[in-house]
Structure 1
Amino acid sequence: MIDWTRVAELRSEIGEDDFAEVIVLFLEEADEVIARLRLGDRTRLAHDLHFLKGSALNIGLSGLAQLCHEGERACTSGQAPLVDLDNLLACHDQSRIQFCAGLATQERQIRNSAKASSPVMSR
């Protein structure tokens, strides 16, 4: 569901500060789209799914990206009413929980690693 290799690549590519900023921006922008979808607003469904797909792929949410891709394909083939929003929303919620928990674990590991490798000054 989450491509942790992609998460590590992104963190390495853009650095720790920019990584945090990208994640916050994704979560905020995705929340706007998800809120609209929770209300059943399908007026921009293909556009919303395209946005979520690209953003999810960028930060490693591969399961969500796949569902968005499938939904986007359905929209472009005239089958937007068949897009299972409940499944997509559940995947989003679960992905977000796992992603945030995984990031918190990684942050603790990074801090612990930094502490362990810090030289101890003695007099």
Structure 2
Amino acid sequence: MPGVSMSGGVMIDWRRVQDLLAEIGPECFEEIVSLFLQEADEVVARLRALSDARAVENDLHFLKGSALNLGFAELAQMCQTGERSAAAGSANVPMDAVIDSYHQSRTAFLGGIKTLAA
């Protein structure tokens, strides 16, 4: 299954998703996905309100790691860029773009894993 292309990049790295599924099995995969989405939803919900560079860096670091684990390739890249900017002292990260990427990735992922399960 190819990634969904956005802005010239790959939104979902389906090879990573398939590798994770093979590594941990379907039951654990469902638990991991559920936990990731729950935690990511919480982080994404507070991103717009953050103004402290350290808080921005921490939340983007968490989101990046989770995104990498589940193959959210474009989101992980955006988080890495924002995390670096925040680490340099700037809380001026394009949160709307990060949030939009998360929601688009989430939708593409949930639709795609139904295909993987079939």
Please say if 1:73 is aligned against 2:84: yes
1:15 to 25, 38, 49: 25
- Percent sequence identity over matched residues? 50
Q: SS of the residue aligned with 2:100?
A: helix
Aligned length: 106
Pair member with larger Rg: 1
Q: Structure 1 unaligned segments of length 5 or more: list them.
A: 110-123
2:50 to 41, 54, 64: 41
Bigger proportion of residues as helix: 1
List 4+ stretches of structure 1 deviating above 3 A. Answer: none
Distance 1:42 1:27 in 2: 24
Cα RMSD, aligned residues only: 0.9
Distance 1:88 1:69 in 2: 10
| Cα offset, 1:16, TM superposition | 0.7
Q: Structure 2 unaligned segments of length 5 or more: list them.
A: 1-10
